[in-house]
Structure formats: C-alpha cells, structure tokens
Amino acid sequence: MSQVSAGAAGLLQRQLKAMQQAKDLPGISCGLVDDNVFEWEVMLMISDDCKYYGGGNFRCHLSFPTSYPHMPPSLTFKDPIPFHPNIYPNGVLCISILHPPEEDQYGFESAAERWSPVQTPETILLSVISLLHSPNDESPANVEAAKLWREEKSGGKEFKRRCRKVVRESLGED
C-alpha cells in the first residue's frame, strides 16, 4: 500500500468510527464492504417529513479513491434506485460536491461548489439526504424524473407516484 493510500485508509477508518459512534446522525448507518475501508455500504433511512421519499430505506455504496481526501468518492444507489432528477437510472448520484475539484467544462458549477478535502462522508451523506428533500432539476442526471418533478410543481401526480412506489419497494412491500 502506498503512503498516500495508507493515509487515506487511516483517515477513512477514523471517519467511519466517528460516524458509527455519532448520536446526532439519525437515519444514517455505515459499514465496510468486505472489510475494505475504501468501500462503504450505507443505509439511508429517510424521515417521514420528506415529501417524496419519506419512510424509505435506501442502500448505497460509497466508493473512495486511494487519493481521498484530495479526490471525491462516488456514491451509487442499489436497488431499488430512487426515482430522482439527480440520480442516474443506473443508481449513480450526480451532486456537485462529488465532482472533481476543478472548473466545470460546461460552466454549470463553480469550483467552490465542487469537491473539497474539507468534505467528509458525513457531510456527503447529509447532502444526499438534503437532495432527496429538495431535488435540483437544473442539470438533471435523470431527464424523465426532472421533467415529472417540474410537472409536479404545477399539479402533476406522476413524480410522486413513482417515488412512493420506490419507497414501498425499499421496504420490501412491492
């Protein structure tokens, strides 16, 4: 193991332990995949006050590069994948703070909105929960979800119906 990845592994070990011991992180549970500190399995138990995903339990995989914290991890939702403007149909999450710390070639994000080594697994997961509460449809990963989300704001019902179906699936009810 290189010195860089050994440093990343030590940091991740400490961050995982801190999250597992935290009393103020309701709805977030983390553990390692196959005892690999660079691969975390996460369960997000969404509170009932979330309009679309409330009551859902969503599994995701947080994968850290050996260059962490200088480069961001990736987060992928496992089945059932939330129907959401910022989640690709394959489950990969699209959120600014997980984009590499450089200027956006398309001009959608400033460097300040992108990854910074001050981010932690905790801040990432809290941002994901916030995104479930308030989707961003400006540069969607799932165009169909973004379209239905916009229609929902003007009285459409399909977005909410699709979200509630995924919530039921996450609870083993479908």
The architecture (CATH level 2) of 3-170 comes to Roll (3.10)
pTM as predicted? 0.90
Burial of 98 (0-12, 13-18, 19+ CB in 10 A): buried
Per-residue pLDDT of the chain (174 residues), as tens digits, is: 566 588 899 999 999 999 999 888 889 999 999 999 999 999 999 999 999 999 999 999 999 999 999 999 999 999 999 999 999 999 999 998 898 877 666 556 666 678 999 999 999 999 999 999 999 888 899 999 999 999 988 888 999 999 999 999 999 986
Query: Alpha-carbon distance 55 to 63, whole Å?
Result: 25
- Phi, psi (degrees; rounded to nearest 5) at 93: -85, 135
Which secondary structure element, helix H or strand E, spans residue 21, and what is its range? helix 3-21
Asked if 94 is an active-site residue, the reply is yes
Q: Residues 30, 60, 94, 163: which is the catalytic one?
A: 94
Which secondary structure element, helix H or strand E, spans residue 160, and what is its range? helix 158-170
Query: Alpha-carbon distance 166 to 157, whole Å?
Result: 15
